[in-house]
Amino acid sequence: MAEPLRNTDDGDRPGRGAGHRGGDRTGPGGGRPAGGRAAEPAEAQDAARLWADVVATARRTVADGLVVGTSGNVSARLGDLVLVTPSGVPYDRLTPADLTGVDLTGRQVLGTLVPTSELPLHLAVYRTTDARAVVHTHAVHATAVSTLVPELPSVHYMAAALGGPVRVAPYAAYGTDELAGNMLGALAGRSGCLLQNHGTITYGATLDQAYDRTAQLEWMCRLWLTASSVPGLAPSLLTEAQLAEVGERLKGYGQRR
Ligand SMILES: [Zn+2]
């Protein structure tokens, strides 16, 4: 079992130490969940597989430089169950036994590690969209942009892949319902947004899609910062109509069978 660290924002939850929640520790392979309902074997297998994907995606955010330490979090939905990375545990230490699951109200139903302190963000997305996966990071270029503008200027057509110009949700303290509310406003009609002076959040139908949207968002922010940093010049921007046209074409993009 991984031991949580206490040196990140996500790990700093006074009075709520990881590993001291009531209930027996259970994993997906057997035993009773903390919530009391015995998981069916098939459900447990699905949860175990999805947990492995959640952990792999979280590790990828670190390997690709989108997250430093444990300053981000990843979740995926399986029916009414949300698997989510725990608070303050380095992703390379997470094992199958660390599976952490909550219901859509945030009640812990699997595992004993404390879920990420950003749980309200993840749950707000699942309650209001058809998301099956959510990725949250403090990626450096995206976070830099979140301190400069209320909306990422449309320097590239890939903004259409996120539903249009990417908004910045007004600042509120991490882990609060206020931040979740601000985020939902910025996400209207979008599959990703920036959180002012904080980071990124994207969602998708799969963990890969949510991850790719975060990577694209960080890349677009880096692109705008690069283009707008040339003295005496300002980048040309795409119109809403140009983005909408690309949005239509992206719906049919990909390998044809
Ligand atoms: Zn955060």
Between 34-38, 44-48, 79-83, 98-102, the lowest mean confidence (pLDDT) is in 34-38
**Distance in angstroms (rounded) separating the CA atoms of residues 88 and 31:** 25
What's the mean pLDDT in 142-170? 97
Q: Domain total for the chain?
A: 1
Half-sphere exposure of 234 (CA within 13 A, CB side): 4
In a domain, 237, yes or no: yes
Q: What is the CA(20)–ligand 1 centre distance, in A? A: 23
Domain that holds residue 49: 41-250
| pLDDT (0 to 100) of residue 29 | 41
Distance of CA 175 to the CA centre of its chain: 13
In a domain, 20, yes or no: no
CA max distance for the chain: 65
Residue 239's domain is classified under what CATH number?
Answer: 3.40.225.10
Look up residue 133 and give its amino acid: A
Q: Is the separation of the CB atoms in 214 and 202 below 8 Å? A: yes
Q: What is the CA(179)–ligand 1 centre distance, in A? A: 10
Of residues 221 and 32, more confidence is placed in: 221
Q: Is the separation of the CB atoms in 201 and 126 below 8 Å? A: no
Q: What is the CA(238)–ligand 1 centre distance, in A? A: 30
As a whole-number percent, the residues of the chain with pLDDT over 90 amount to 78
> Which residues does the annotation mark as catalytic?
118
In a domain, 200, yes or no: yes
In a domain, 35, yes or no: no
User: How would you class 97 by CB atoms within 10 Å of its CB: exposed for 0-12, middle for 13-18, buried for 19 or more?
Assistant: middle
Q: What is the CA(249)–ligand 1 centre distance, in A? A: 33
**Distance in angstroms (rounded) separating the CA atoms of residues 150 and 178:** 17
Taking 90 as the threshold, does the pLDDT of residue 10 lie above it?
A: no
Q: Is the separation of the CB atoms in 164 and 234 below 8 Å? A: no
In a domain, 255, yes or no: no
pLDDT tens digit sequence for 164-173? 999 999 999 9
Phi-psi region of 66 (alpha: psi -120 to 50; beta: other; left: phi over 0): alpha
Q: Is the separation of the CB atoms in 123 and 152 below 8 Å? A: no
Phi, psi dihedral angles at 243 (to 5 degrees):
-65, -40
In a domain, 4, yes or no: no
In a domain, 30, yes or no: no
In a domain, 13, yes or no: no
